[in-house]
Structure 1
């Protein structure tokens, strides 16, 4: 029986650095000969789940579908990296329950103020101007529930990308 890979669930606000860190970590793992697959929450939503809105129910559905995709691929890769906002604790717990001991919750901790400052996509500006409804972390209807006890906690305001990658490697 083939050993199952690990699924690292990168959770945090939009603009916190989830995809950037996952990409850098992927490069490091690839250079060590590991098979890695990235299931980017933004890409999957825009390509496969574009029918889903940002309502609580649709966010839950999107998280569930991505967790199912990770489960389907878990035997093919050493690591599956999932950078996804995943704002609700119960959705992250559902992913953990589905993936079992192969699930690692990684919290990319960046303050809302810093995410607004970074705002590469201009989404926070639109959300604050009420051009985007239900924006996670800004809208009262869509709060971001910070993980209570993540497996890995990265504060990207105090750590470089290389330091973040090193912390993940140390954990593993």
Structure 2
């Protein structure tokens, strides 16, 4: 049986040559219903169409699998973000552009996420305000939180600490998805360019 641990893996430079771009983490943070997942999926599609190798880590999907054992206490929220950050860093180290869509309400936890892949980490504040998110409320979560049916719900009964110095802020409360995507796409194309 071959032990793969003893075989050399491709270097970062070889991965960049193979994929045509550096690996990176695009970390979307914001309130529930701010548009993080929609923006992440649209960005992935736009980047793939241009030849990027990328993936999306969506908070809801991860909570249904990898993080299914976690609740919404402050400790569990920190652990949720820690796990997502470690997985995102692994994808980025492998040369992919990893786009996360995670509420990640605490600055301290997001700072840890940045440390996991500091060389190419980009914090994106998806900055729809609470009233816009409550108006959208596609899953009825704000309504349930206001009725006391959900505890520790970010923005209602649990805090959200907006980024103080994100790399980019996207106001999905006042912009269309297409306008928000264009702003974010141009940012990524500039900061993680395809190599000729």
Q: Do both share a fold (TM > 0.5)? A: yes
1: CA distance between counterparts of 2:115 and 2:166?
14
Give the SS at the match of 1:39: strand
Give the SS at the match of 1:138: coil
User: Is the Cα–Cα contact under 8 Å of residues 37 and 77 in structure 1 kept in the other structure?
Assistant: no
1: CA distance between counterparts of 2:67 and 2:92?
21
User: Please, which runs of 5 or more residues in structure 2 have no aligned partner?
Assistant: 1-10, 17-21, 189-196
Which moves more between the two structures, 39-48 or 75-84?
Answer: 75-84
2: CA distance between counterparts of 1:73 and 1:153?
24
* 1:1-172 → structure 2 map (5 Å cutoff): 1-2=11-12, 3=16, 4-139=22-157, 142-172=158-188
Tell me the alpha carbon deviations over residues 9-38 of structure 1, each in whole angstroms, 9 at most, x when there is no partner: 000000000000111111100110111111
User: Is the Cα–Cα contact under 8 Å of residues 128 and 174 in structure 2 kept in the other structure?
Assistant: no
CA RMSD of aligned residues (A): 1.1
Matched length: 170
User: Is the Cα–Cα contact under 8 Å of residues 46 and 185 in structure 2 kept in the other structure?
Assistant: no
Give the SS at the match of 1:38: strand
2: CA distance between counterparts of 1:10 and 1:121?
19
User: Please, which runs of 5 or more residues in structure 1 have no aligned partner?
Assistant: none
- Which entry has the higher C-alpha Rg, 1 or 2? 2
Deviation at 1:77, TM superposition (A): 4.0
Give the SS at the match of 1:27: helix
